[in-house]
Amino acid sequence: MKSQPGAKKPEISELSRIKDRVTFLYLEHAKLNRQDSAIVVADSKGTVFVPAAIISVLMLGPGVDVTHRAMELMGDSGMSVVWVGERGVRQYAHGRSLNHSSLLTEAQAKLVSNTQSRLAVARKMYQMRFPNEDVSKLSMQQLRGKEGARVRRVYRQQSERTNVPWSRREYNPDDFNSGTPINQALTAAHQALYGLSYSVIVALGASPALGFVHTGHDLAFVYDFADLYKADYSIPVAFSIASQYSENDDIGAHTRLAMRDAFTDGKLMIRMVADLKALLGIKTENEADIVNLWDDRLGLQKFGVQYTEYEGNDKR
């Protein structure tokens, strides 16, 4: 078979380089194809070539046509692909990322399946938000109350900093434009943060569905993880944008650009990778692409071996 042009498929060990990528790119009303190792994006304004290996998550909005060859390149380069609504404020579907290792998923499933270990991870998450306080003895109810007070305080402080009036968080996921400028900015900022959080989670091989604080949703862990960074990223950015633009401007677009700049300047992906592994108790640098067979007595056994019939005494 004739080899196809383009970049060599990355090795699993290259996943750590996610920290060096552009965080996300949002596209709408465009046609996507492939040329060598680049995604070709064509719309009414012209054509641009986007190197696939530099993007962490690609958000595809309304009116996007994408070819099979383009999707093949995205998958091979480890790019997470998310199909979203207009201005990126709703997620409808996602494409599988590069990592084939189950190491983080198994650790996550083990932790979330036991009440004590699940509570311990949840407390870790809250401890990250209260570094100067000991929350190790607090119940989930106490932690939720403490977190609610913290978030209200953050909103109040950002309102005072930017002189943007603030009353409460309210939005209609089916009607982005019905919200006030600050609520529109918060929706767009949080969605960008969710996209980046999702990208890091799946790229490293964890499950976006197995949440420790949130539960019952296929993105429960994404909400858990993103909440760790809202006070430092999406909330301040949203208030800054709302202070600069009016409801007649494209608040969503301005917010996404500001979030992308904040992600790059703050090296958030480096922090996310370290935080995710710490929360799940993973200390290895790289997760190998290895398949084993499980055995209740002998431990992990080699995959791809033609085993002979076992004739020993089974005393189970």
CA distance 228 to 47: 37
Cβ neighbors of 209 (< 8 A, separation 6 or more) are 217, 218, 219, 220, 221
147 marked as binding residue? yes
Residue 86, marked binder: no
Question: Is 94 flagged in the annotation as binding?
Answer: no
Burial of 34 (0-12, 13-18, 19+ CB in 10 A): buried
Q: Is the dihedral of CA 83, 88, 91, 96 positive or negative?
A: positive
234-244 and 181-203 helices, crossing angle to 10°: 150
Determine how many CB atoms are found less than 10 A away from the CB of residue 193.
27
H/E element holding 29?
none
* Bind-site residues: 147, 214, 227
Binding residues for Mn(2+): 147, 214, 227
